[in-house]
Amino acid sequence: MNFNKNVLLLTGALIAIVACKKSNNSKPTVTADVYVAGFTTAADNVTDIPTYWKNGVATTLKDTAGSAQLTAIAVQGNDVYTAGYRSTATIYQEAALWKNGEMQTLEQASSLSSANAICLNGNDVYVAGSIASNNHSIAAYWKNGVLTLLPHNSLSSNINAIVVQGSDVYAAGTITSYYGFNMAVYWKNGIPAMLTDSSANSIPSSIVVQMNDIYIAGSINGKAAFWKNAKSSIIDNSDFSSNAASIAINGSDVYITGRIDYIGSATVTYWKNGLAAQIINNSANIFANGIAVNSNDVYIAGYTDETYSSFATYWKNGVAVQLPNGAGHFSQATSIVVIPH
């Protein structure tokens, strides 16, 4: 089974109205809908099925004609948009977009293309990733299915995250140096701004923009890091490797989730304003891929991996909610969006 770790996650600050409990016999009021994207497996435990869950109820997507995984999700009104990739007997990996479960057309999305992130801006749908050309990948995004290639002067490039503010399009990703290192970069309206040079192996994973400030989460030389307006900070001060998978802004607070790898174990955690706020679990086989913040509630999406199974999971304020698998024994959650009522 192909586990795609490129995950790109798009999240933002969300405000919820908390309803009061009227009586001891009333049901708890649901103040937000939780959407989680990822995949389950068929009964053969080999074929991946693109799946998203709304409040724990699974929806599997159509028109895959093979294996497929979701890497990102966005919601607007009653419409659910998901991005990812599919593979068939003749296509190794093809970028894909679904709207309400129906596959949409992405220009020049062919074998060896990827869709790692999605965002909405009014009626416009942006999907970001890469396409293949001359045995290399080229950073690319699609606006309403129309392809735009981003400039680079390297062997390969890729977009892991995208966000749109007004008429400005921001994308974060990597450019491969001639020495084989991933150099962190973001593009604003197609103009690249380098975050690191070839002396550091760096991978941005998530981007948000608030007012005029640009926040990017990722890793630098195997350590969880984030950039604010291109200035980097290492947020994990341990002696072990770590990564920052996703970032969200709530008011003036910056939330980042990721994983710290210890010897024989690991920790999924989140940092609030650069300080470790909560350890979610302590297991060698637990992973975080996305974060969303709704009022005072912090949601983290990921999965737990066991010997013969894995389970898509999200944590709300540290409490695990295990999502149902399909016919097979494996599932993963790659992205999360929380929509307040």
Task: At 6, list the tokens.
Answer: 């490129």
User: Which residues lie below 8 Å from residue 126, measured CB to CB, with a gap of 6+?
Assistant: 118, 119, 120, 141, 142, 143, 162, 164, 169
Looking at per-residue pLDDT, the higher value among 112 and 57 belongs to: 57
Task: Write down the pLDDT at residue 284.
Answer: 74
Task: Write down the pLDDT at residue 62.
Answer: 73
User: Rounded to whole angstroms, how far apart are CA atoms 237 and 242?
Assistant: 10
Identify the weakest region by mean pLDDT among 61-65, 282-286, 316-320. 61-65
Given a cut of 60, is residue 73 above it in pLDDT?
yes
18-66 tens-digit pLDDT: 333 333 444 456 689 999 999 999 999 999 999 999 999 999 997 667 8
Say if CB 292 and CB 11 are below 8 A apart. Answer: yes
User: Rounded to whole angstroms, how far apart are CA atoms 307 and 311?
Assistant: 11
Task: Write down the pLDDT at residue 153.
Answer: 66
Average pLDDT of the segment spanning 57-86: 92
Say if CB 130 and CB 187 are below 8 A apart. Answer: no
Tally the residues of the chain. 341
DSSP-assigned letters across all residues of 57-116 = EEEE-S--SSEEEEEEEEEETTEEEEEEEEE-SS-S-EEEEEETTEEE--TT--TT-EEE
Average pLDDT of the segment spanning 295-320: 94
Average pLDDT of the segment spanning 251-266: 92
What's the Cα-to-Cα distance from 151 to each of 157, 189, 213, 250, rounded to whole Å?
9, 11, 23, 32
141-167 tens-digit pLDDT: 999 999 999 987 667 999 999 999 999
Fold for 29-340, please state it. Neuraminidase (2.120.10)
Looking at per-residue pLDDT, the higher value among 179 and 168 belongs to: 168
Average pLDDT of the segment spanning 81-88: 93
Exposed (0-12), middle (13-18) or buried (19+): which is 77, by Cβ within 10 Å? Answer: exposed
User: Rounded to whole angstroms, how far apart are CA atoms 246 and 290?
Assistant: 5
CA nearest neighbour of 159 among 214, 106, 201, 117: 117
Task: Write down the pLDDT at residue 98.
Answer: 96
User: Rounded to whole angstroms, how far apart are CA atoms 36 and 333?
Assistant: 6
Given a cut of 90, is residue 242 above it in pLDDT?
yes
CA nearest neighbour of 68 among 51, 44, 89: 51
Task: At 51, list the tokens.
Answer: 């799946």
For residues 18, 24, 25, 26, the Cα torsion angle rounded to the nearest 10 degrees is: -10
Mean per-residue pLDDT over the chain, rounded: 88
User: Which residues lie below 8 Å from residue 212, measured CB to CB, with a gap of 6+?
Assistant: none
Amino acid identity, position 17:
I
Given a cut of 60, is residue 213 above it in pLDDT?
yes
Amino acid identity, position 34:
V
User: Rounded to whole angstroms, how far apart are CA atoms 246 and 217?
Assistant: 6
Task: Write down the pLDDT at residue 25.
Answer: 46
User: Rounded to whole angstroms, how far apart are CA atoms 288 and 304?
Assistant: 9
58-70 burial, b for 16+ CB within 10 Å, e for fewer? Answer: beebeebeebbbb
User: Rounded to whole angstroms, how far apart are CA atoms 297 and 257?
Assistant: 14
Average pLDDT of the segment spanning 285-291: 95
Task: Write down the pLDDT at residue 29.
Answer: 63
pLDDT band at 282 (very low <50, low <70, confident <90, very high): confident
Given a cut of 90, is residue 4 above it in pLDDT?
no
Amino acid identity, position 76:
Q
* Beta strand ranges found along 150-201 (DSSP E): 157-165, 168-176, 182-188, 191-194
